[in-house]
Structure 1
Amino acid sequence: MDQTTQLQERIAHLTRAVEELSEVVARQQGEIDRLTRRVALLMEREAEREYETGGAVPLADQKPPHW
C-alpha cells in the first residue's frame, strides 16, 4: 500500500470520527437545552411556591451561597 492510499484511509477514518463526534455533541446540546428549560421551570415553580407561603425572597432571586 503506497503512502497516498494510507493517507486517504486515515483521512476517511478521521472524517468519520469527526462526524460521529459532531452527532454526539449535537445530541448533548439538545439534552442540555431541555434540562436548562426544566431547571428554569422548576425554579419558577419554587419561587411561586415560596412567595405563596410567605417566604421573604424567592429562591430564584437569591444568589447561591458561594457567590
Structure 2
Amino acid sequence: MHEAHIELQHRIEELEIQSALQEETIQSLSDTIARLQQTLDLQQAQLRLLYQRLPDRADSGGEPFNPASEIPPHY
C-alpha cells in the first residue's frame, strides 16, 4: 500500500511539473503573439501611409515614388 502511495505522489508531481511548463509555454506564446500584433499594426499603418502618398507623387509629376526614402523617423 505504501508503494502505491509513493507512486501516486510521484505521478502527481510529474503532472504538476508538466502543467507548470505548459503554463510557461502558453505565456511565452501569448507574449510573442502580442509583439507580432504590434508589429503588424505598425506595418499596416505604414502601408496605409504609402498608399496615401502614391497618388500625390503620381499627380505631381515629380520623382518616382521610392519607399526607401519614406522611412519614418523612429527607424
Q: Corresponding residue for 2:68?
A: none
Name the SS of the counterpart of 2:55 in structure 1: coil
Deviating beyond 2 angstroms after TM superposition, the runs of 4 or more aligned structure 1 residues are: none
Q: How many residues matched? A: 55
Instruction: State how far apart, in whole Å, the 2-side matches of 1:48 and 1:8 are.
Output: 60
Larger radius of gyration between Structure 1 and Structure 2 = 2
Q: Corresponding residue for 2:8?
A: 7
TM-score w.r.t. structure 2 length?
A: 0.68
CA shift, 1:18, in A, is 0.4
Instruction: State how far apart, in whole Å, the 2-side matches of 1:54 and 1:18 are.
Output: 55
In structure 2, the gaps of 5 or more residues are 57-75
RMSD: 1.5
Identify which of structures 1 and 2 has the higher relative contact order when contacts are C-alpha pairs closer than 8 Å and 6+ apart: 1
Percentage of identical aligned residues: 18
Q: Which has the higher helix share?
A: 2
Counterpart amino acid of residue 50 in structure 1: Y
CA shift, 1:4, in A, is 1.1
* Per-residue Cα deviation, 1:17-56 (whole angstroms, up to 9, x for no partner): 000111011011000000000001000100011011129x
TM-score w.r.t. structure 1 length?
A: 0.76
